[in-house]
Amino acid sequence: MDSGLKGLEAVLAVARCGSFTGAAQDLGISTTALSHTIARLEASLGVRLFNRTTRSVSLSDAGRNFVARISPAVTEIRAAMETAQSLRQTPSGLLRINASVQAGRAIAPLVLEFLKRFPDMQVDLVTEGRLVDIVAEGFDLGIRPADLVPRDMIALPLGPPQRHAVVAAPSWLGRHSVPLTPADLPLEACIRVRLPNGVLFRWQFARDGETVQIEAKGRLTLDEAAIARMAVLDGAGIGFFIEQDVADDIAAGRLIRLLEDWTPPRPGFCLYYPDRKNPSAGFAAFLTMVREAAARRAKDGVLS
């Protein structure tokens, strides 16, 4: 990329990361080089794009307007460069993926296989709780539960169906009666879960065609499964988790599973992306691997 495009990429990186240090790491350059790049661009524009203090960096009014205008254009430039690179026989370049923590764990083996198969490719896998606009934030792909995938995206099923598990610590059950149906759950003892989009999750149950939703009313609200697990292990109340996050605790007896017959499998994760007319060779190769993995799972399911 020429110096002008590097300057625009630098501005977007700092705006995205909220710091020069994080942006420099994303871009693979030194903080000093990034600072000089931003300073040269600001000098050429005659305006300050960022307000800087010793502790924080934020966009100025001019910077916010500038980022809003250049972001779509830089995305188009990236697409054009990827189209040109796609003419190469061997996939190369950078693939940026945004996922939840659980989805990141699910996709990690496939990412490692992808890097082994295509040594000229790089992958930046970002895991976070919030649900981001992957186009606006410069990601090629997103991975989230099927019911959180934006409707304007193309989605591919990724991995097996997910199942939830309702659990409590033996110490908590020693002081309370065991619920036998969702209606028996003491709502004030149920830890509340906040989804990436900010909505409080309703616990969902189903059995023999009957579906039930309850709204947890516990005093503790969390959006991180690892912290919720710690709280339940400590006897803080009843938790509602993706099964794989507490499977070891259940097997070891640290947590007791409740209402197992009320938590059937649900749709798993989906990989999603916007419609792309001219995908890069690397992007297309990764999608091919996802489809191959899905076909293997389907075949194994038939054979089993």
Say if residues 258 and 168 touch (Cβ distance below 8 Å).
Answer: yes
pLDDT of 166 strictly over 80:
yes
User: Which residues in the chain are classed under CATH 1.10.10.10?
Assistant: 1-85
pLDDT the model gives residue 14: 92
Class of domain 1-85: mainly alpha
164-262 maps to CATH 3.40.190.290: yes
The per-residue b/e assignment along 34-71, b for 16 or more CB within 10 angstroms, e otherwise, is bbebbeebbeeeeebbbeeeeeebebeeebeebbeebb
Cα of first residue to Cα of last residue in the chain, in angstroms, is: 51
Residue 99: C-alpha distances to residues 6, 128, 271 (Å): 26, 6, 9
Three-state DSSP state, 234 = coil
Tokens of residue 51, six digits: 């307000």
Structure tokens at 136: 């606006």
The pTM of the whole model exceeds 0.75: no
- pLDDT exceeds 70 at position 145: yes
CATH architecture for residues 89-160+268-304: 3-Layer(aba) Sandwich (3.40)
SS3 call for 207 = strand
Per-residue confidence band for 229, with pLDDT thresholds at 50, 70 and 90: very high
Mean pLDDT of 158-171: 88
- What percentage of the chain reaches a pLDDT higher than 90? 55
CA-only gyration radius of the chain, Å: 23
Quote the pLDDT of residue 85: 61
Contact criterion met (CB below 8 Å) for 133 and 197:
no
Residue-wise pLDDT for 9-18, tens only, equals 999 999 999 8
Whole-number pLDDT of residue 303: 35
Give me the percent of the chain exceeding a pLDDT of 70.
93
* pLDDT at residue 89 in the model: 59
CA–CA separation, 205 vs 195, rounded Å?
A: 17
What is the CB-side half-sphere exposure of residue 36 using CA atoms within 13 A?
6
- At 281, the pLDDT band (50, 70, 90 cuts) reads confident
Mean pLDDT across the chain: 88
Kindly state the DSSP code that residue 150 receives in the 8-state scheme. -
Q: How many of the other CB atoms lie within 10 Å of CB of 184? A: 11
- The CA distance from 187 to 194, in Å, is 16
| CB neighbours of residue 194 within 10 Å | 14
Domain with CATH 3.40.190.10 in the chain: 89-160+268-304
| pLDDT tens string 240-270 | 998 988 999 999 999 999 999 999 887 788 9
* Mean pLDDT in residue range 81-94: 70
- Sign of dihedral through CA atoms 181, 183, 186, 191? positive
Using the predicted structure, report yes or no on whether residue 285 has a pLDDT greater than 50.
yes
21-59 residue pLDDT tens: 999 998 889 999 999 999 999 999 999 999 988 778 899
* Type of residue found at 19: S
